C-alpha cells in the first residue's frame, strides 16, 4: 500500500467515560470503511481493539489500541482509549499524538465524571474536539439533556450539527443541519438514505444551520464580509470557515450516533476527512529545551515513541508517530536520549492485535515496529547528527501507593525485573526501592491499575505479587534541651577501646544563637537529604578530646539519626554540641568515639522530649454539591483539617490537609462515597507532630519488633 501524504492523514483519539461505547463505535467505523467485514462486539470478545484476554474478561478497555481505516482516500488513524480514570495515562498518551479528540457521550447518562476528567487532559493538550452523542437507540436516551449538560460543562462552544428524529428503541433517523438533510437508516444500520427534512423539524434545522454559518464566518474576515452581504455561505466557504474554527478550537461540533446499530459513523468520518485538521494543520510540536518541530514531510525524519507493549514470542512493540520527514523500512535512526542506533527493520500499520507491513510512513502518520533494542516510551529518534527531542508526555501524578512483597527472598530479583519491564510499558507506574522504609513501593493511578500490574507480573513474568499497606516515612525530632554523657570502655586483652563523650542535644531552628555557656569553636549546619537540618557544634576546651576524633563522633551521631531511637525513622532539626569528654593515649580510636557518640545521642534523645513527625498532604477534592456532605464527613474521620471551600464551574472544591497515613486507598473510598462523581489531587505539604496517643502506640510497636528481632 502506498504511503498516505500528510494532508491525507487524520489522527483521532476516541475518548469518554467507561461504557459510553467507544470500542463499539470504533467497530462501526472500521466496518463502514470496509476495513473489516464484520462488526465485533464487546460481549462476544471479538472486537479489533479490546483484544487482550484481560479486556475480554472484564468487558471494557484497559489499554489504548491503535486502529486505522481509509475513508475516501484519507487514512484515519483511530486510538481507542479506556474510560476508567485508573488508566488516564493511556488517554494522555493518545492525546499526545492525536490531532482531534472524538468525545463520546452516553445518551442515557449524559456527561459523566470520566468524561470531565478526560476533558482536563484535552484542554491541557489544546486538542480540537468533536462530541458524539452515542447510544441514541437506548430506551432511556435523552439527547436534549445530554446536549444541555455538554454546554454547561464545556461551554457554548459546543454547537450541535445534528439532532435525532426519534431517539429510543426505534431510533433510525438523524437531521443534519450542516448538509440540511435527514439521514434515514435501514434496519440494522449501515448506509442511510438522504431524505428532505420533515416540516416539523425544519425550523430547528434552519436555526442550527444559521449558527453553523455564523461560526464559520467568524474565523475569516472575507467570509465574515460575505456573510454580512449575502446572509449565507456556499458549501466550500462553509467548509473552509469550519475547518479553521475547529483547528483553533473556536467551536466543538456535536453529532448523533448509535455505534451498536451502525448509525452515524459514516457521516462523522466524512466530517473528519473534510473538516478535521491534518497533522500539518496543527501547531508545530514543542521540543525539549525550547524550539518546535513542524510536521514537514520534506524535513529530516523525526520519530517519537508514544507507547511500548510486550507480546509473547514477539517481544517489544514500539508505537510511534512520524513528526517529520519520511520513515522507510530499513531506516537507521539514533535515539536522542541514549545515543543508541536503532534499525527500523519492519514498519507496520496497526489494526489492534493485527499488523500490516508497509514500506514507509509519511510525516504525521502513526505506526509501529518490533524489536527496537534500547528505545522506549517518551523517546525521540532522528538521523545521525540530530539530537532533537519531542517534548515528553507528562503523565498524571500517582494517587495510590502500595508496598510489594515477593513470594520469597529468592524471587526478589525476579520481581524487580518484572516491575522494571512493566514500568517501561506503563510510565504511570512508579517503582521505588525505598532504603528508608525497607520496602519496594509502587505508585499508580488506582487500585484497578495496580491489579493490572499484578496480573501482568503473574502472566508475563511468573511472579506472584502481594500488596500490603506501605510504611509511613515518619520523622523524629526533640522538643527540649538535655545534656548527656556516655563512656565506652572495652578491654579484652591487648589494646582496648576507650572513649567518653559529653554532648548537649537540643531542638534546632533557623538563626538560633550559639549554645549558651559553651565555647563553640566550630558550628556546622547541614541540610539533610531527607529534609530538615542537623547542626554539629565542636566546643571542646583544653584538648580533652583530640580534634582528629571530630568526624568519628559526628559519624556516630549520624548513624543513629538515620535510624531514629523512637521508630527507626530519620531524625531532623536537631543540634548536638560536643563540650567535654575523655580519651586515652593508647586505647582511644575512631571506632570507640563513634560508639560512644551513638550511645550518648540515643540515650539523650529519649530524655529530650522525643516527637514523631508525620507527613501531611494537601488534598483538593472536587465533587458535585449533592455528595459534598459525604466527602466532608469522611475527611473528618481521617484527621483532616479543612483549609477552605470554593467552587470551580459546577464542582464544589474542598481543600484540606490530611496525614498520609489516612489516605491509604483514598481513591477507592472516594469513588464509592460519591458514585464516581468526584476527583482529587494530592501533594506533599509538610511534616507535623503526631498526636500523643498515636505516637505512644507507634513507639511501643517499634520497641516490640526490635525486641523480637534480637
**Beta strand 347-351 pairing with 430-434:** unpaired
Question: In CATH, what number does 285-382 get?
Answer: 2.40.30.10
Q: What is the CATH architecture of 476-608?
A: 2-Layer Sandwich (3.30)
Q: Give 96-122 as a DSSP string.
A: HH-SEEEEEEETTTBS-HHHHHHHHHH
208-214-219 Cα angle (round to 5):
135
Residue whose entry in the numeric block shows the C-alpha cell 549520624: 558
**Ranges for all domains in the chain classified under CATH 3.30.70.870:** 407-468
Residue extent(s) of CATH 2.40.30.10 domains in the chain: 285-382
Q: Which residues contact 345 (CB under 8 A, 6 or more apart)?
A: 329, 330, 369, 370, 371
C-alpha distances in angstroms, 75 versus 7, 174, 265, 593, 640? 10, 26, 15, 76, 53
Contact 422, 456 (CB under 8 A): yes
- Whether residue 469 contacts residue 447, with contact meaning beta carbons closer than 8 Å, is answered with no
**How far from 425 is each of 317, 377, 422, 429, 489, CA to CA, in Å?**
10, 7, 5, 9, 57
Within 10 A of 191 (CB to CB), how many other CB atoms are there?
10
Q: What is the pLDDT of residue 243?
A: 93
Tens digit of each residue's pLDDT (9 = 90 or more) over 284-341:
999 999 999 999 999 999 999 999 998 777 788 999 999 999 999 999 999 999 999 9
CATH number of 9-202+249-281: 3.40.50.300
Residue ranges matching CATH 3.40.50.300 in the chain: 9-202+249-281
Query: What's phi and psi for 412, nearest 5 deg?
Result: -60, -50
Task: Enumerate the CATH 3.30.230.10 domain ranges in the chain, comma separated.
Answer: 476-608
CATH pick for 407-468 out of 2.60.40.10, 3.30.70.870, 1.10.240.10, 3.30.470.20: 3.30.70.870
Which residue positions in the chain have pLDDT lower than 70? 1-2, 493-494, 709-710
Half-sphere exposure of 117 (CA within 13 A, CB side): 27
Q: How far apart, in whole angstroms, are the C-alpha atoms of residue 207 and residue 275?
A: 21
Whether the Cβ atoms of residue 429 and residue 444 lie closer than 8 Å to each other = yes
Q: What is the pLDDT of residues 492-535, one digit of tens each?
A: 766 789 999 999 999 999 999 999 999 999 999 999 999 999 99
Q: What angle do CA 408, 311, 344 make, to 5 degrees?
A: 125
- Residue 221: predicted pLDDT: 76
pLDDT at 391: 97
The average confidence (pLDDT) of the chain is: 92
- Written as nine digits, the cell of 698 is 507507634
**What CATH number should be reported for the domain whose range is 612-693?**
3.30.70.240
DSSP states along 23-85: HHHHHHHHHHTTS-SS---TTTT--SS--SHHHHHHTS--S-EEEEEEETTEEEEEEE---SG
Predicted pLDDT of residue 2 = 59
Amino acid at each position: 500500500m502506498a504511503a498516505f501524504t500528510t494532508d491525507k492523514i487524520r489522527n483521532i483519539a476516541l475518548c469518554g467515560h467507561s461504557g459510553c461505547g467507544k470500542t463499539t463505535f470504533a467497530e462501526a467505523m472500521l466496518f463502514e470503511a470496509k476495513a473489516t467485514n464484520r462488526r465485533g462486539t464487546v460481549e462476544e470478545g471479538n472486537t479489533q481493539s479490546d483484544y487482550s484476554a484481560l479486556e475480554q474478561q472484564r468487558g471494557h478497555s484497559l489499554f489504548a489500541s491503535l486502529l486505522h481505516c481509509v475513508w475516501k482516500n484519507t487514512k484515519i488513524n483511530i486510538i481507542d482509549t479506556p474510560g476508567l480514570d485508573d488508566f488516564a495515562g493511556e488517554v494522555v498518551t493518545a492525546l499526545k499524538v492525536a490531532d482531534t479528540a472524538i468525545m463520546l457521550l452516553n445518551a442515557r447518562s449524559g456527561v459523566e465524571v470520566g468524561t470531565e476528567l478526560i476533558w482536563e487532559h484535552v484542554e491541557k493538550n489544546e486538542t480540537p474536539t468533536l462530541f458524539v452523542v452515542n447510544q441514541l437507540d437506548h430506551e432511556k436516551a435523552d439527547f436534549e439533556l445530554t446536549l444541555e449538560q455538554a454546554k454547561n460543562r464545556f461551554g457554548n462552544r459546543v454547537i450541535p450539527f445534528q439532532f435525532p428524529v426519534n431517539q429510543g428503541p426505534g431510533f433510525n433517523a438523524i437531521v443534519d443541519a450542516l448538509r440540511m438533510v435527514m439521514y434515514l437508516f435501514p434496519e440494522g444500520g449501515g448506509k442511510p438514505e438522504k431524505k428532505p427534512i420533515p416540516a416539523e423539524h425544519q425550523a430547528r434545522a434552519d436555526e442550527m444551520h444559521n449558527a453553523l454559518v455564523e461560526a464559520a464566518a467568524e474565523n475569516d474576515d472575507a467570509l465574515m464580509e460575505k456573510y454580512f452581504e449575502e446572509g449565507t455561505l456556499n458549501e466550500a466557504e462553509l467548509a473552509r470557515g469550519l475547518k479553521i474554527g475547529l483547528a483553533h478550537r473556536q467551536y466543538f461540533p456535536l453529532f448523533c450516533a448509535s455505534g451498536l446499530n451502525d448509525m452515524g459513523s459514516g457521516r462523522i468520518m466524512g466530517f473528519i476527512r473534510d473538516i478535521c485538521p491534518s497533522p500539518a494543520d496543527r501547531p508545530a510540536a514543542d521540543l525539549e529545551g525550547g524550539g518546535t518541530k513542524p510536521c514537514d514531510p520534506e524535513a529530516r525524519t523525526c520519530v517519537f515513541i508514544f507507547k511500548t507493549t510486550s507480546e509473547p514470542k514477539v517481544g517489544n512493540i514500539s508505537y510511534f508517530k512520524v513528526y517529520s520527514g519520511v520513515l522507510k523500512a530499513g531506516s537507521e535512526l539514533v535515539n536522542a536520549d541514549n545515543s543508541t542506533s536503532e534499525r527500523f527493520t519492519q514498519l507496520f500499520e496497526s489494526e489492534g492485535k493485527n499488523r500490516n507491513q508497509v514500506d514507509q510512513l509519511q510525516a504525521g502518520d502513526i505506526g509501529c515496529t518490533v524489536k527496537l533494542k534500547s528505545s522506549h516510551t517518551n523517546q525521540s529518534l532522528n538521523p545521525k547528527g540530530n539530537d532533537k527531542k519531542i517534548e515528553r508526555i507528562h503523565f498524571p501524578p500517582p494517587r495510590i501507593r502500595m508496598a510489594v512483597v515477593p513470594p520469597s527472598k529468592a524471587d526478589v530479583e525476579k520481581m524487580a525485573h518484572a516491575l522494571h519491564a512493566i514500568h517501561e510499558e506503563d510510565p504511570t507506574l512508579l517503582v521505588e526501592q525505598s532504603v528508608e522504609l525497607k520496602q519496594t513501593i509502587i505508585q499508580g493511578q488506582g487500585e484497578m491499575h495496580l491489579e493490572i500490574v499484578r496480573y501482568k507480573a503473574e502472566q508475563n513474568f511468573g511472579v506472584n505479587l502481594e500488596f500490603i499497606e506501605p510504611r509511613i516515612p515518619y520523622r523524629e525530632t526533640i522538643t527540649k534541651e538535655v545534656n548527656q554523657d556516655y563512656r565506652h570502655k572495652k578491654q579484652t586483652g591487648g589494646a582496648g577501646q576507650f572513649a567518653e563523650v559529653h554532648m548537649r542535644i537540643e531542638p534546632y531552628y533557623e538563626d538560633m544563637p550559639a549554645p549558651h555557656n559553651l565555647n563553640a569553636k566550630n558550628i556546622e549546619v547541614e541540610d539533610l537529604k531527607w529534609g530538615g537540618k542537623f547542626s554539629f557544634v565542636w566546643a571542646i576546651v583544653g584538648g580533652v578530646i583530640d580534634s582528629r576524633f571530630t568526624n568519628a563522633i559526628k559519624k556516630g551521631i549520624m548513624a543513629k539519626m538515620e535510624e531514629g531511637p523512637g521508630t527507626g525513622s530519620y531524625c531532623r532539626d536537631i543540634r548536638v554540641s560536643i563540650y567535654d569528654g575523655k580519651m586515652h593515649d593508647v586505647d582511644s580510636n575512631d571506632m570507640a568515639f563513634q560508639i560512644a557518640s551513638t550511645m550518648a545521642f540515643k540515650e539523650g534523645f529519649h530524655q529530650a522530649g522525643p516527637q514523631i513527625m508525620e507527613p501531611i498532604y494537601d488534598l483538593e477534592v472536587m465533587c458535585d454539591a449533592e455528595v459534598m456532605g459525604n466527602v466532608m464527613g469522611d475527611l473528618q474521620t481521617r484527621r483532616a483539617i479543612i483549609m477552605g471551600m470554593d467552587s470551580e464551574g459546577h464542582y464544589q472544591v474542598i481543600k484540606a490537609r490530611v496525614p498520609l497515613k489516612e489516605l491509604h486507598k483514598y481513591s477507592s473510598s472516594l469513588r464509592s462515597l460519591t458514585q464516581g462523581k468526584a476527583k482529587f489531587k494530592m501533594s506533599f505539604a509538610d511534616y507535623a507532630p503526631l498526636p500523643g496517643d498515636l505516637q505512644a502506640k507507634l513507639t511501643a510497636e517499634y520497641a516490640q519488633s526490635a525486641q523480637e528481632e534480637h
